[in-house]
Amino acid sequence: MDRSVYIPTLANIDRSVYNVTMSAKKISNVAAIPARERILRTAHDLFYREGIRATGIDRIIAESGVTKVTFYRHFPSKNDLIRAYLEYRHELWMSWFIDALNRHQLPRQQPSAALVPAMKEWFKSNDYRGCAFINTVVEFDGALPEVLEISRRHKLEMTTVIASLLPATKHRELDAQAVAMAIDGAIVRAQMDKSTADALKVLDVLLRSLNLSGN
C-alpha cells in the first residue's frame, strides 16, 4: 500500500517558492517579485532569525526595497504582517515536512521511521532557529489571540500528517499526538543545545518506546 504522505488542503501549494532550508528563496531579479511577496519574504527571514519584536517595520521596508506607502498598502499594521508571516511560514514548513517525510521513507521500514531523519535534516540546516510558532507564542504571551489560533492550527495539521504515517489502529490519533509532543520537545532541545545529537537521540528513543508498528 502506498503510505506516502498526502494532505488535500496542501496539495496545491506552489512549492517552487520554497527550499529545504525554509528560508525565503533568493531571486536575482528582485524587481520581478511583486511588492507584497518581497515584503513577506523579507519579514519571514527577519522575524524567524531575529524575533518579531526586535524587527522594526523600517528595517523590513528598507530590506524589501519598497516605499512606506507601498508597505502600508499591503499591510496596514505590523499585526497584519505578523498574521501573514505565520500563514506563510505554515505553508512553507508543511510543504517541507511532507516532502522530507516522503524523501526519507525507506523500503521495508515503517513510514514513521522517516520522522527522525526529517527532523535531523531541519535541525542541521544553517538557518534553524526552532519552531516559529512556539517562538511567537512565547514572545507574545497571549497579547495577540490570532497568534494562538494560527499556531494551534499549524500543530493540528502537523499532527494530522504524523497520523497518516501510523497504522490504522484505534489509538492512532492519541499516538500521533504523543509523537507530535515528542517532536516539539526535540525542537526546543535542539534550539537550546549547541549540538542536535541529544535531541535526535532522545526523540528516537521516545518514538521507539511508543511501538508505532501497530503490533
- Alpha carbon 180 to its chain centroid, in Å, reads 13
DSSP character at residue 19: -
| Total domains in the fold of the chain | 1
Look at residue 196 and tell me if it is in a domain: yes
Cell representation of residue 36: 507584497
Provide the residue range defining the domain that includes 106: 8-22+78-209
How sure is the predictor about 164, in pLDDT bands with cuts at 50, 70 and 90?
very high
* CA distance linking residue 106 with residue 102, whole number of Å: 9
Look at residue 152 and tell me if it is in a domain: yes
DSSP character at residue 171: T
Q: Residue 61 burial by CB count (10 A; 0-12/13-18/19+): exposed, middle or buried?
A: middle
* CA distance linking residue 57 with residue 100, whole number of Å: 33
Look at residue 35 and tell me if it is in a domain: no
- N- to C-terminal Cα separation, the chain: 17
Look at residue 111 and tell me if it is in a domain: yes
The per-residue pLDDT for 123 is: 97
Between 122 and 8, the higher pLDDT residue:
122
State mean pLDDT over 81-92: 98
How sure is the predictor about 31, in pLDDT bands with cuts at 50, 70 and 90?
low
Amino acid at 182: A
How sure is the predictor about 30, in pLDDT bands with cuts at 50, 70 and 90?
low
Look at residue 145 and tell me if it is in a domain: yes
Look at residue 41 and tell me if it is in a domain: no
- Alpha carbon 137 to its chain centroid, in Å, reads 14
The per-residue pLDDT for 215 is: 53
Look at residue 29 and tell me if it is in a domain: no
Q: The CATH number of the domain where 169 resides is what?
A: 1.10.357
State mean pLDDT over 10-22: 41
Look at residue 132 and tell me if it is in a domain: yes
The per-residue pLDDT for 22 is: 61
Q: Would the pLDDT of 189 be above 80?
A: yes
